[in-house]
Structure 1
Amino acid sequence: MKKKIAILIIAFNLVACAELQHVVNQLPQGGISNADMASGLRQALHFGIDKQVTKLTQKDGFFKNELVKILLPEELQKVDKTLRDIGLGKLADEGLKVLNRAAEDAVKEATPIFIDAVKGITFADAKNILLGNDNAATAYLSSKTETALYAKFNPVIKNSFSKVGADSIWKNLITKYNNLPFTKDVNTDLTDYVTKEALNGVYTMIAQEEKEIRTKASSRTTDLLKKVFALQD
Structure 2
Amino acid sequence: MRKISIAVSVLLFISCVALAKRPELQIPIPTLKPTSLTSEEVVRGLKDALRVGADNSVISASSVDGFYRNQEVFIPFPNEAIKVKNTLEKIGRKKDVDAFVKSLNRAAEEAAKSAAPILIKAIQDMTIQDAMGILKGDGSAATLYLKDKTTAQLEVSFKPIVSAAIKKVNVARYWKPLVTTYNKTSLFSGGGKVDPDLEMYVTEKAISGLFILIAKEELKIRKDPAARVTDIIKSVFSKQ
- Report the TM-score when normalising by structure 2: 0.81
Distance 2:114 2:231 in 1: 31
Correspondence for 1:215? 223
Aligned length: 204
Distance 1:135 1:30 in 2: 27
Is 2:232 aligned against 1:227? no
Correspondence for 2:162? 157
Q: How big is the shift at 1:75?
A: 1.2
Gaps of 5+ in 1: 1-28
Of residues 170-179 and 180-189 in structure 1, the stretch that sits farther from structure 2 once superposed is: 180-189
Q: How does 1:180-199 map to 2 (within 5 A)?
A: 180=185, 181-182=188-189, 183-199=191-207
Is 2:94 aligned against 1:103? no
Of residues 81-90 and 150-159 in structure 1, the stretch that sits farther from structure 2 once superposed is: 81-90
Correspondence for 2:148? 143
Tell which structure's C-alpha radius of gyration is larger.
Answer: 2
Q: How big is the shift at 1:81?
A: 2.4
Is 2:179 aligned against 1:174? yes
SS at match of 1:179: helix
Correspondence for 1:87? 92
Distance 2:136 2:219 in 1: 13
Distance 2:207 2:230 in 1: 29
Q: How big is the shift at 1:132?
A: 0.5
Q: Which amino acid aligns with 2:97?
A: A
Distance 2:169 2:224 in 1: 40
Q: Which amino acid aligns with 1:106?
A: A
Q: How big is the shift at 1:85?
A: 2.7
Is 2:223 aligned against 1:205? no
Distance 2:87 2:41 in 1: 56
Q: Which amino acid aligns with 2:63?
A: Q
Q: Which amino acid aligns with 1:140?
A: Y
SS at match of 2:238: helix
Instruction: Give identity over the alignment, percent.
Output: 40
Is 2:48 aligned against 1:40? no
SS at match of 1:87: coil
SS at match of 1:112: helix
Q: How big is the shift at 1:218?
A: 2.5
Of residues 160-169 and 43-52 in structure 1, the stretch that sits farther from structure 2 once superposed is: 160-169
Gaps of 5+ in 2: 1-33
Q: How big is the shift at 1:141?
A: 0.6
Correspondence for 2:129? 124
Q: Which amino acid aligns with 1:148?
A: Q
Q: Which amino acid aligns with 1:104?
A: E
What are the superposed Cα offsets for residues 170-195 of structure 1, whole Å, 9 maximum, x if unpaired? 11111111122413221111111111
Structure 1 residue ranges, 4+ long, deviating more than 3 angstroms after superposition: none
Distance 1:206 1:41 in 2: 14
